[in-house]
């Protein structure tokens, strides 16, 4: 398993690099990195469903929304979550989102493939409708404005401090999800992705496995939402809109589904293009669309899949050389 160790090492080094380099750039880059990291938690949660269980969900934004709105409502209505109780809000955000996933999951898990896509889309739209319509709770389209970031010994209003907090929670999430996918439970998820029928024959309760994965993904989505609320300081139905779910899906595929960190890479690239490129050139939308199309066409395993493909190509070339050597020489 040496290659696995190497991969882990690379990820750890990359994370350390991010943690060290980013705070020394300018405030705008720090802000972007913070946003990308928070959203990456959502993308990674989607990857658990998509990459590891084979369930393409077009409704993950709903869980981001739950976490975000919960944070905002508690902060503005009940002055809750602005001190050490911030950590309580984190827990609540995860629980509430997981609860929603438990409800939605009951409706969605029976479906597979395209139908799963459709039903999660429909459920996501219902969540949006709720956020929009339930004015008294969510503020409707005005959104909810969080006035200040929490202070508990450290002041999160400081961009660098907040960056470290988000980074810390991101790293913890990554670690937890990594442990999950390498656990026996995670392996059975992969098995379900490959051949669900076979898993059923082997006696696995595939429905339950998928359901649990769905709830876990929802929970992490909620965490992402809590952080997201504090990053921008405003929560609105825009956070729960269809394109947010589509974004997450595209980022996961761009980076490479089934790799966890692929989603993070995808998130950074898309945010970079969207937020940074758009300040430089007006045709950034075409660039983004082209990136999606080209990746899907030529890099089906995403960016993280490039080393593997190179290796395969090298192996194929080596094979051909070997075959040539073996070919009988006709004289």
Partner 1 sequence: MTITLLRRLGPPLLGGVVALGLTPPSNAAEELRIGYVAPTTGIFAQVGKDMVDGFQLYLDDVNSDFGGAKVKFIVEDEQAKPDTAVTRAKKLILQDKVHMLVGGLLASSGYALAPVSTADKTVYVVPVSAADDLTQRDLAKYPYMVRTGWSSSQPSHPFGQWACDQGYKKIVAVGADYAFGYEVIGGFQRAFEACGGQIIQKIWPPIGTKDFGPYIPTIRQDADAIFTLMVGPMSLQFPKQLAASGNKKPVIGGGTSYDEFVLPSMGDEVIGHVSALQYSAALETPKNEAFVKKYRAKYGKVPSYYSETNYTTAQMIHEVIKNNKGNFPGAEEFVKQLATLKLDTIRGPVTIDEMRNPVQNIYIKKVEKKKMFGYDKEELWNTVIKTYPNVSQFGQFKKDEFLKQPVYSRDFPPCKFCN
Partner 2 sequence: MNTQFWLTQAFNGISYGALLFLVGSGLSLIFGVMRIVNLSHGSYFLLGGYVALSVIWTTGSWLLAIPVAALTIAAVGVAMERVFLRPLGFDPLRQVLLTVGFAFLFQQAALDIWTGNNFDINPPDALTKSIVVGGLYLPLYRIFMIGTALAIGLVLWLVMEKTRMGAAVRATVDDAQMARGVGIDTSRISMLIFALGAFLAALGGVIGGAFLGIYPGLDFEMLPIAFAVVIIGGMGSLGGAAIGALVVGLADNFGKALFPEVSYFTLYAPMALILAVKPTGLFGRE
275 binds partner 1 (CB under 8 A): yes
Stretch that binds partner 1, among 77-85, 113-121, 219-227, 276-284 (CB under 8 A): 276-284
Partner in contact with 50, chosen from partner 1, partner 2, none, beta carbon below 5 to 8 Å by kind: partner 2
Q: Judged by CB under 8 A, how many residues of this single chain contact partner 1?
A: 29
CA distance 101 to 66: 10
The secondary structure of 186-226, three-state, reads HHHHHHHHHCHHHHHHCCCCHHHHHHHHHHHHHHHHHHHHH
Binding residue for partner 2 (CB under 8 A) from 77, 110, 195, 320?
110
Query: Nearest to residue 255, comparing CAs of 310, 288, 292, 218?
Result: 292
Report the residue number, 5 or 147, with the smaller CB distance to partner 1: 147
| Radius of gyration for the alpha carbons in the chain, expressed in angstroms and rounded | 21
88 touches 96 (CB < 8 A): no
Binding residue for partner 2 (CB under 8 A) from 119, 229, 270, 304?
119
Q: Give me the DSSP letters along 289-325.
A: HHHHHHHHHH-TT-GGGHHHHHHHHHHHHHHHHHHHH
CA distance 262 to 240: 23
Give me the least distance between CB of 278 and partner 1, in Å please. Answer: 6
Stretch that binds partner 1, among 4-12, 137-145, 210-218, 297-305 (CB under 8 A): 137-145
Residues belonging to the chain:
331
Q: Is 327 helix (H, G, I), strand (E, B) or coil?
A: coil
CA distance 209 to 55: 12
The secondary structure of 94-142, three-state, reads HHHHHHHHHHHHHHHCCCCHHHHHHHHHHHHHHHHHHHHHCHHHHCHHH
Partner in contact with 111, chosen from partner 2, partner 1, none, beta carbon below 5 to 8 Å by kind: partner 2
Report the relative pairing of strands 151-152 and 154-155 from DSSP bridges: antiparallel
Binding residue for partner 1 (CB under 8 A) from 56, 143, 191, 225?
143
Stretch that binds partner 2, among 111-119, 146-154, 191-199, 202-210 (CB under 8 A): 111-119
For residues 18 to 47, the per-residue mask of contacts with partner 1, x marking binding by CB under 8 A and - elsewhere, is --------xxx--xx--x------------
For residues 152 to 171, the per-residue mask of contacts with partner 1, x marking binding by CB under 8 A and - elsewhere, is -----x--------------
Interface with partner 1 in residues 180-199 (CB under 8 A): none
Binding residue for partner 2 (CB under 8 A) from 56, 139, 218, 262?
56
For residues 197 to 236, the per-residue mask of contacts with partner 1, x marking binding by CB under 8 A and - elsewhere, is -------------------------------x--xxxx-x
What is the separation, in whole angstroms, between the first and last Cα of the chain? 46
238 binds partner 1 (CB under 8 A): yes
209 touches 188 (CB < 8 A): yes
Q: Cα dist. 256→90, 250, 251, 260, 329 in Å?
A: 28, 10, 8, 8, 44
What are the residues binding partner 1 (CB under 8 A)?
Answer: 26-28, 31-32, 35, 132-133, 135, 140-143, 145, 147, 157, 228, 231-234, 236, 238-239, 275, 278-279, 282, 285
Interface residues toward partner 2, by CB under 8 A: 50, 56, 106-108, 110-115, 117-119, 121-123, 125-126, 128-130, 132-133, 242-243, 246, 249-250, 253, 285-286, 288-290, 292-293, 296-297, 300
């Amino acid at each position: 398993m040496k290659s696995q160790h190497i991969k882990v090492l690379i990820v750890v080094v990359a994370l350390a690099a991010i943690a060290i380099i980013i705070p020394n750039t300018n405030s705008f880059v720090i802000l972007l990195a913070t946003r990308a990291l928070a959203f990456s938690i959502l993308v990674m949660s989607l990857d658990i469903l998509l990459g590891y269980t084979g369930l393409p969900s077009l409704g993950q934004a709903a869980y981001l929304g739950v976490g975000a709105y919960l944070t905002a409502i508690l902060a503005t209505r009940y002055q809750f979550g602005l001190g050490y109780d911030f950590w309580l809000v984190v827990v609540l955000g995860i629980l509430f989102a997981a609860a929603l996933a438990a409800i939605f999951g009951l409706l969605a898990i029976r479906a597979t493939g395209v139908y799963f896509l459709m039903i999660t889309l429909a459920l996501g739209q219902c969540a949006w409708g709720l956020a929009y319509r339930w004015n008294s709770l969510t503020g409707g389209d005005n959104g909810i404005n969080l006035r200040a970031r929490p202070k508990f010994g450290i002041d999160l209003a400081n961009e660098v401090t907040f960056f470290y907090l988000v980074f810390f929670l991101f790293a913890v999430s990554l670690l937890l999800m990594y442990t999950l996918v390498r656990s026996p439970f995670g392996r059975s998820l992969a098995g379900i992705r490959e051949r669900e029928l076979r898993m059923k024959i082997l006696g696995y309760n595939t429905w339950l496995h998928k359901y649990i994965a769905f709830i876990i993904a929802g929970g992490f989505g909620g965490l992402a939402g809590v952080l997201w609320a504090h990053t921008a300081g405003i929560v609105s139905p825009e956070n729960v809109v269809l394109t947010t779910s589509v974004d997450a899906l595209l980022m996961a595929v761009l980076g490479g589904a089934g790799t966890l960190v692929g989603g993070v890479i995808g998130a950074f690239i898309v945010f970079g293009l969207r937020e940074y490129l758009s300040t430089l050139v007006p045709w950034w939308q075409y660039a983004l669309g082209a990136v999606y199309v080209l990746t899907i066409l030529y890099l089906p395993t995403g960016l993280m899949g490039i080393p593997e493909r190179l290796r395969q190509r090298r192996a194929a070339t080596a094979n051909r050389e070997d075959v040539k050597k073996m070919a009988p020489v006709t004289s």
